């Protein structure tokens, strides 16, 4: 039998609880430690692992030699710092997105992980949806992607809208859309031209809506729209279309549904539930157990953040920006 995998969760809010629930359902790992600045919140997650200990200082988990890997599910501004500390402690990492909210943080995190020998997985759950895999099989070489991730207006008081703690919707949530576009097109972004701004959060120093045209290394192109600018009832906040000159596919209904057209016939696929969280957790535990690279690496997490930061720079300057990372 493979050795038992011990997990520590840092950040026991909504995301931490979702991952704890998935770990319990999978059943091949043990949650050994639960860490949150609010210990009462951490204690709620004992429902998923009654024998775990609770603490308020991440160093307790990182110094625990019995813990193999940590989940970082805190506010966005602490991700890079905690990722660096985990890498230095030799812990494998599953990190909620975005992995960082500045170019400097991206660079520092990448340097720390590269010299650590750990495996780092970015929690890009959208990649793992069965519907997305159906599209990849149906159309391995798209020429264009039209991507939309638009949500209902986030309250000004929501932590992810805080310019420091969250960075606003485009940074906090848009990295999911940026990554999935790159994943579907299977190419690296090289240039972005964008427009947008702060449309309905005048008291906050954030970008709440952005549209971007992205050129990829392979010559294909993408159109990306993100923001808490309004939810479209028919497609939901997620809508991804890909085309290759003959065929097309449309992912919608929070990616639970996809319609595929080969030029003559339509094929439809539906998932009864969203499986991304569970499937990404399965992969991460396999990564830790086999000491293998995950499919969604730190580099992919950095790529999504850098693409959006460069898009915001293009929006501010009115000039196309090179995407380098």
Q: Which residues of 83-120 are buried (b: 16+ CB within 10 A; e: fewer)?
A: bbbbbebebbbbbbbbbbbebebbebbbebbeebebbb
* pLDDT at position 324 over 90: no
Q: How high does pLDDT run on average in the chain?
A: 96
pLDDT of residue 291: 80
What pLDDT, in 10s, does the model give residues 194-250?
999 999 999 999 999 999 999 999 999 999 999 999 998 889 999 999 999 999 999
Q: What is the mean pLDDT of residues 35-45?
A: 98
pLDDT of residue 1: 47
Residues of the chain with CATH 3.40.50.720: 5-124
Q: How far is the C-alpha of 110 from the C-alpha of 101, rounded, in Å?
A: 13
Rounded percentage of the chain residues whose pLDDT exceeds 70? 99
Q: How far is the C-alpha of 91 from the C-alpha of 72, rounded, in Å?
A: 11
pLDDT of residue 276: 94
Q: What is the mean pLDDT of residues 88-108?
A: 97
Q: How far is the C-alpha of 197 from the C-alpha of 201, rounded, in Å?
A: 10
pLDDT of residue 3: 61
**pLDDT confidence of 292, banded at 50, 70, 90?**
confident
What pLDDT, in 10s, does the model give residues 164-181?
999 999 999 999 999 999
What CATH class does 5-124 carry? alpha beta
Q: Which residue has the tokens 């603490």?
A: 55
List all residues 6 or more positions away from 127 whose beta carbon is below 8 Å from its beta carbon.
Answer: 179, 180, 183, 276, 280, 295, 296
CATH: 3.40.50.620, 2.120.10.30, 3.30.360.10, 3.90.1150.10. Which one for 126-276+306-322?
Answer: 3.30.360.10
Residues of the chain with CATH 3.30.360.10: 126-276+306-322
Is residue 240 within 8 A of residue 255, CB to CB? The reply is yes
pTM score > 0.85 for this model? yes
What pLDDT, in 10s, does the model give residues 150-167?
999 999 999 999 999 999
């Amino acid at each position: 039998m493979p050795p038992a995998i011990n997990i520590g969760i840092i950040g026991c809010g909504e995301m931490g609880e979702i991952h704890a629930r998935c770990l319990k359902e999978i059943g091949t790992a043990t949650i050994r430690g639960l860490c949150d600045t609010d210990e009462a919140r951490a204690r709620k997650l004992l429902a998923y692992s009654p024998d775990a200990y609770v603490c308020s200082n991440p160093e307790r988990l990182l110094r625990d030699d019995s813990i193999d890997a940590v989940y970082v599910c805190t506010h966005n501004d602490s991700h890079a710092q905690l990722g660096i500390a985990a890498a230095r402690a030799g812990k494998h990492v599953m990190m909620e997105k975005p992995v960082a909210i500045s170019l400097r943080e991206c660079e520092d995190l990448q340097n720390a992980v590269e010299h650590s020998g750990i495996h780092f997985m970015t929690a890009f759950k959208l990649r793992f949806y069965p519907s997305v895999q159906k599209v990849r099989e149906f159309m391995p070489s798209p020429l264009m992607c039209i991507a939309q991730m638009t949500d209902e207006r986030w309250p000004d008081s929501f932590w992810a809208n805080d310019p420091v703690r969250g960075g606003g919707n485009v940074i906090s949530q848009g990295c999911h859309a940026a990554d999935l576009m790159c994943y579907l097109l299977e190419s690296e972004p090289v240039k972005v031209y964008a427009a947008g701004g702060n449309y309905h959060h005048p008291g906050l120093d954030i970008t709440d809506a952005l549209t971007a045209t992205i050129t990829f290394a392979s010559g294909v192109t993408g159109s990306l729209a993100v923001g808490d600018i309004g939810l479209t009832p028919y497609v939901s906040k997620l809508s991804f279309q890909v085309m290759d000159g003959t065929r097309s596919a449309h992912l919608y209904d929070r990616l639970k549904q996809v319609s595929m057209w080969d030029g003559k016939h339509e094929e439809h696929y539906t998932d009864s539930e969203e499986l991304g969280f569970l499937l990404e957790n399965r992969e991460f535990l396999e990564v830790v157990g086999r000491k293998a690279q995950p499919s969604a690496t730190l580099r992919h997490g950095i790529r999504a953040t850098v693409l959006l930061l460069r898009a915001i720079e293009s929006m501010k300057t009115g000039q196309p920006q090179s995407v380098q990372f």
